[in-house]
Amino acid sequence: MRGPQLVSSKFIRQEASRSAADGEHARIIMDRFSILRTRILREMRNHGWRRLAVVPLTKGAGGTFVAINLALALSRQKQTEVILMDLDFGDPSVSAELGVPGCEPVTDAILQGHRLSDLVNIVEEAPNLSILVPGHAEPDAAELIQSEDFSKAMTDLRNHYPASIEIIDTAPLIGGDMALATLPLADAMLLVADGREGTAADMTLAQRLLKDMPPVMGVVLNKSED
């Protein structure tokens, strides 16, 4: 299969234009994710972690928004290489949100014995950012995530990019099993809660579901007024 290719992100180009038109709003978003980046990097380096799952508690909480902006913030550091992966195979959205072409089907690559690194592309506007983002839903998504072949492929990907921080965009934790199937692949997780419509019951259920899972580094209240 082919090696990494440069792809241009419509999202990053639009954000650059928006920043020129409304610099204050862009600065606030950038500052908030820069602070989050600093905290995440410090903790991950202290513990020797390299793979972080960004987990929305509920559908619509904004996990993909957080995963993309955190990955971009990390990639702005010159010495930090980042891989952003969309492992919400049942309903992938990173490709559309970033405005980049989706990669070839992961299922086909695994069945044909190809490496996941063959599906990785580099974002032209953010050279330290590589992406593995399917453009369409994968068949039998949860079964694929839990398969031994996929686990081995993820280990091979980590070995192929030994210096990279890996950010995983997952399916919502509540309402399905995709996120729970994905989390054992991560070293740690960052939860994303809906700051406007989320409930205390969501957090209580999340605590039960996350028993014996990788450690939680924090909770982002997305769409909050604070």
Does the pLDDT value for residue 190 go beyond 80? yes
What mean pLDDT do residues 209-224 have? 91
Q: How confident is the model at residue 2, as a pLDDT? A: 61
Is there a contact between 90 and 138 (Cβ–Cβ < 8 Å)? yes
Side chain identity at residue 102, one-letter code? G
What gap in Å lies between CA 24 and CA 34, rounded to an integer?
15
**Which domains are assigned to the chain?**
6-222 (3.40.50.300)
Q: How confident is the model at residue 195, as a pLDDT? A: 82
Alpha helices in 49-131 (DSSP H): 63-75, 94-98, 106-111
Does the pLDDT value for residue 226 go beyond 80? no
What region does 113 belong to: left with phi over 0, alpha with psi -120 to 50, or beta?
Answer: left
Does the pLDDT value for residue 87 go beyond 70? yes
pLDDT in tens, 16-71: 777 766 667 677 888 999 999 999 999 999 999 999 999 999 999 999 999 999 99
Q: How confident is the model at residue 28, as a pLDDT? A: 82
Q: Give percent above pLDDT 90 in the chain.
A: 81
Q: How confident is the model at residue 197, as a pLDDT? A: 84
Higher pLDDT, 170 or 15: 170
pTM of the model: 0.93
